[in-house]
Homo-oligomer: A and B are copies of this chain.
Amino acid sequence: MLAAFSVVPVGVGDSIGDQLAEVLRIIDASGLPYKINPMGTVIEGEWNDVMALIKKCHSSVMKTGKRTITSISIDDRPGHPNRLDEKVKSLERRIGKSLKK
């Protein structure tokens, strides 16, 4: 399955880059396939692996603050492997054009 998620520390100021940098270090070290975008990260894997990683990211941000808002969107479609790359490629093939990534 694919999961897009973001972790937002609330109450530590409007600059939250230090907390997010630590989240990205955790994601990058996890071994799960991922793609970062300006509003979050998309990872691909089985439910338990995906949720263990998101919990680790959420807990990392909780350590430095009193309140954290984490949003997760899951798209689960068994039998369609490597959707991290294939979903966008499939759309590009349909419209016959390379899209901005």
Contact = CB atoms under 8 A, between A and B. Distances in A.
Interface of A: 2, 4, 6, 8, 10-18, 20-21, 24-25, 28, 33-40, 42, 47, 51, 55, 58, 62, 65-79, 83-85, 87-88, 90-91, 94-95, 97, 99-101
A42 B37 contact: yes
B76 A58 contact: yes
A42 B51 contact: no
A47 B55 contact: yes
A77 B88 contact: no
Given A8-B69, A38-B88, A67-B76, 11 more contacts: A2-B38, A11-B12, A14-B67, A17-B90, A18-B94, A21-B94, A34-B100, A38-B85, A39-B87, A72-B73, A101-B101
The majority secondary structure among interface residues of chain A is: mixed
B35 A38 contact: yes
A36 to B, nearest CB: 5
Given A11-B13, A14-B66, A37 B4 contact: yes
